[in-house]
A and B are shown apart, each in its own frame.
Chain A
Amino acid sequence: DAGVIQSPRHEVTEMGQEVTLRCKPISGHDYLFWYRQTMMRGLELLIYFNNNVPIDDSGMPEDRFSAKMPNASFSTLKIQPSEPRDSAVYFCASRTLTGELFFGEGSRLTVL
């Protein structure tokens, strides 16, 4: 299996622009998680899905953030409009029934 695939790996954009991050989970995993990691705040859970349904989005910082999972093999995290404080590494992860999380390599976002 190719593992969790994220794109883009790096994104540099200007404040106010829309950013879309993409994730393909491992086939057969029924949970998908979006995390954000910064030096200041560490690893933060933004939202997670079970069987494509959003279960807990309490970590989404504000209305500028949205996430979708239209099918079992694809999810997006969108920021509109983006701000410099959104600069971070965004990780997608999927998990097995035994609880093991498999992380993608992350999308490093820089908002100028």
Chain B
Amino acid sequence: GNSVTQMEGPVTLSEEAFLTINCTYTATGYPSLFWYVQYPGEGLQLLLKATKADDKGSNKGFEATYRKETTSFHLEKGSVQVSDSAVYFCALSKNAGGTSYGKLTFGQGTILTVHP
């Protein structure tokens, strides 16, 4: 079945440091890939997504590239801020004919704390 594996946290960085959170997946076919972020006391919200191989999703300075050859979708940011402190979830969804369907499979989440 489908699965998503994220690097274990928590991750603690100083402001302006470079961030990488690793995500690898196992899936049949060509899934869509997502990063969700959860700020304290809130629900998850979509950060970025990629729907096919070599696509790069980006938002708020975060980037992730869909690498089919390595089945990876690592999240990166060049310079983190204190406000980026949150829990980050990698996820995948099955596709058929360009339409996503079924449930999303989530990784276990990675806690990021950024200190001033």
Binding site for B on A (CB under 8 A): 4, 33, 42-43, 45, 48, 55-56, 91, 93, 95-106
Residue numbers in A under 8 Å from B44 (CB-CB): 43, 91, 93, 101, 103
B49→A99 contact, CB < 8 A: yes
Say yes or no: A97-B99 contact (C-beta < 8 A), given A105-B43, A106-B43.
yes
For the complex, is B106 an interface residue (Cβ under 8 Å from A)?
yes
Contact among B36, B45, B95, B108 for A42, CB-based, below 8 A: B108
Say yes or no: A104-B34 contact (C-beta < 8 A), given A33-B103, A45-B103, A98-B51.
no
B51→A100 contact, CB < 8 A: no
A14 to B106, CA, bound (A): 32
A99→B34 contact, CB < 8 A: yes
Smallest CB separation, A77 vs chain B (Å)? 15
Residue numbers in B under 8 Å from A55 (CB-CB): 102
The count of residues in chain B whose C-beta lies closer than 8 Å to any C-beta of chain A is 22
Given contacts A33-B103, A56-B103, 20 further A-B contacts (CB under 8 A): A42-B109, A43-B106, A45-B103, A55-B102, A91-B44, A95-B104, A96-B100, A97-B100, A98-B99, A98-B100, A99-B32, A99-B49, A99-B93, A100-B34, A100-B46, A100-B49, A101-B34, A101-B44, A101-B46, A103-B43
B43→A104 contact, CB < 8 A: yes
A68 to B97, CA, bound (A): 30
User: Which residue of chain A lies nearest to B93 when distances are taken between CB atoms in the complex?
Assistant: A99
A selection of 29 A-B contacts at a CB cut-off of 8 Å is A4-B43, A42-B108, A43-B44, A43-B106, A48-B103, A55-B102, A56-B103, A91-B44, A93-B43, A93-B44, A95-B100, A97-B100, A98-B32, A98-B99, A99-B32, A99-B34, A99-B49, A99-B51, A99-B95, A100-B49, A101-B36, A101-B44, A101-B91, A102-B45, A102-B46, A103-B44, A103-B45, A104-B43, A106-B42
A66 to B34, CA, bound (A): 29
List 9 A-B pairs, minimum CB-CB distance, nearest first: A99-B100, A103-B43, A99-B93, A99-B32, A103-B44, A100-B46, A97-B99, A91-B43, A106-B43
